[in-house]
Structure 1
Amino acid sequence: MDPIVEAALKKWPNVPHCYGWLALDARGDWYMRDERIQHAGPFPQVKGSRIEHRKLIEFIERNYAADPTGCWFFQNGPQRVYVELEAAPWVWRVAAGGQISSHTGLPCEAQASWLDEQDRLFIATRLGLGIVHSMDMHEAALAVEQGLWQPQAARHADLLARHAVQLKPLPP
């Protein structure tokens, strides 16, 4: 977490949490969902405005974490902005030889893998559960063919429960 964020938390410890305004899709793109978009429909059917400002994306990703209930958030200074997830909290990019990194740029190693009922490939790492980016399925298929990963069949809901992931955080 950025030092400026930690300082803000100490200075203003009781800022209310924010829900519904930030989302992460299955390709690792961040979306702002203002009140009008939230009323227009649920994420990901109505995504909102894709965040493209590189420095803002980097700030979000440096301050991205999960609470004890499996809800993911971005700590924006003193305010916790909860994130709606399309599929999982991490989106894995796959390079040659099955090397993976998160959508935030963190390198990881696969611990287990699954195919869900929609034939989406999920991988667990030390960071948690993530979905393989759709553009990297060729490299992922090569990793499976080489025996680096052995995906098992699993329901998406079961994977989320097993890894304590909440797709849509709600206020208490």
Structure 2
Amino acid sequence: MDDLVRAAMARWPNVPDVFGWLSLTRNGQWRLHPTGNALALNDSGQYPEGESISNPQITGFISRNYMADDAGRWYFQNGPQKVYVRLDAAPLILRINDNTTGLQAHTGAVIDSVNAWWLDDEGHLYAQTNLGPGLIAGRDLPALLDTLHTPDGQPLADALDAVGTNAIVVAPALAPAQTHPATLHFCAASHIETLLGFVR
């Protein structure tokens, strides 16, 4: 968290929280909702897209001051005010770094360890990381599946074909501090928030 944000929190400790102004897409884009309608479903039952935030200074400021409360709700600490974020998929969107040796979040933070993997019944892969729960970005999923393997060296893609819905042990990979295997679990997409402990 930025020092100026800490100072603002100390100076104005009782500023009300706000909801509906910011969202995070499943691609890791921050989006602004100038009318505060991020949580309002339209006639088609969809949430509004909002406006893309492309200024790197603004996205960097949001990313540095982005965190979760004790209830698993994620927010951006904007000075003294918490701006709660509508999550289209997960709190973190994870990508393989440029040299394919590690994972990083959409915030730019490096993932040091993965405690568990979750594959839902819609084909989305999630990771419980040292920074929190994240969705593997769709474009990076094939490369990640090519990288992961079981402790005995079997490629994860082959293990998935062989085991059905039983859990799979995955060898440490793509996380520099990872020294122990992590289990890959299978679940319904509707259960992912509960299993990973976050609120969309």
TM-score normalised by L of structure 2: 0.75
> Could you tell which deviates more after superposition, 4-13 or 158-167?
158-167
Higher helix share: 1
Aligned 1:21-170 pairs, distance under 5 A: 21-35=21-35, 37-38=37-38, 39=40, 41=42, 45-95=47-97, 99-108=102-111, 109-145=113-149, 146-147=155-156, 148=171, 151-167=184-200
2:7 aligned partner: 7
C-alpha change, 1:129 and 1:65, in structure 2 (3 Å) is: same
- 2:71 maps to amino acid: T
Deviation at 1:150, TM superposition (A): 5.9
- Would the aligned equivalents of 1:25 and 1:44 in 2 still touch at CA under 8 Å? no
Contact residue 24 and residue 83 of structure 1 kept, 8 A: yes
Most deviating of 75-84 and 143-152: 143-152
SS of residue in 2 equivalent to 1:68: coil
Distance in 2, Cα, partners of 1:44 & 1:66: 25
Deviates more, 1:158-167 or 1:36-45: 36-45
Letter in 2 for 1:18: V
Which structure has the larger Rg?
2
Higher relative CO (CA 8 A, sep ≥ 6), structure 1 or 2? 1
Kindly state the Cα deviation for residue 97 of structure 1 after the two structures are TM-superposed. 5.3
Deviation at 1:98, TM superposition (A): 5.8
> Are the counterparts in 2 of residues 12 and 78 from structure 1 also a CA contact under 8 Å?
yes
Aligned counterparts of 2:121 and 2:142: Cα–Cα separation in 1: 19
Per-residue Cα deviation, 1:8-35 (whole angstroms, up to 9, x for no partner):
1111111111101000011110011122
Structure 1 residues 144 and 120 mapped into 2: Cα distance closer, same or farther (>3 Å)?
same
Deviation at 1:44, TM superposition (A): 6.2
Task: Look up the equivalent residue of 2:119 and give its one-letter code.
Answer: L
Identity %: 32
Task: Please state how far the C-alpha of 1:113 moved relative to its aligned partner.
Answer: 1.0
Residue 158 of structure 1: how far off its partner (Å): 2.5
Q: 1:25 to 1:43 in 2, by over 3 A?
A: farther
Over 3 Å counting, the alpha-carbon distance change for 1:54 and 1:112 in structure 2 is same
Task: Report the CA distance shift for 1:81/1:43 in structure 2 as closer, same or farther (over 3 A).
Answer: farther
Q: Equivalents in 1 of 2:50, 2:190: separation in Å?
A: 24
User: Unaligned stretches of 5+ in structure 1?
Assistant: 168-172
1:40 offset after TM fit, Å?
Answer: 6.5
**Structure 2 unmatched ranges of 5 or more:** 150-154, 157-170, 172-181
With normalisation by structure 1, the TM-score equals 0.87
Contact 2:20 2:36 in 1 (8 A): no
